[in-house]
């Protein structure tokens, strides 16, 4: 939860994506454990649901980043200049 709030406050798509990844992993394990002893039909439905949510998470990350992809920020340019000047 802290990473989500910090990412939103800082406007960091990387922090938000990291938090979403952790949430997705936890949900994935919970669903897998929940259907472990069930019939194949339920496990297949769970697999489709998990795959669909991963696609939704990826689209959300892309959409969150797409709006700032071509926007030049001074801090971002300075960071790249610093990394580029390292030996």
Q: What is the mean pLDDT of residues 47-71?
A: 76
Q: Are 46 and 32 in contact (CB under 8 A)?
A: yes
Q: What is the mean pLDDT of residues 29-56?
A: 90
State both tokens at 80: 């790249």
Q: What is the mean pLDDT of residues 5-27?
A: 79
**Tens digit of pLDDT for each residue in 18-36?**
887 888 888 889 989 999 9
Q: Name the pTM for this structure.
A: 0.55
Model pLDDT, residue 68: 57
């Amino acid at each position: 939860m802290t990473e989500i709030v910090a990412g939103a406050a800082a406007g960091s798509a990387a922090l938000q994506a990291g938090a979403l990844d952790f949430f997705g992993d936890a949900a994935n394990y919970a669903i897998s454990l929940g259907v472990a002893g069930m019939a194949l039909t339920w496990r297949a439905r769970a697999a489709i649901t998990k795959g669909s949510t991963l696609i939704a998470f990826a689209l959300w990350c892309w959409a969150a980043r797409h709006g700032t992809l071509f926007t030049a920020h001074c801090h971002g340019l300075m960071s790249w200049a610093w990394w580029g000047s390292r030996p």
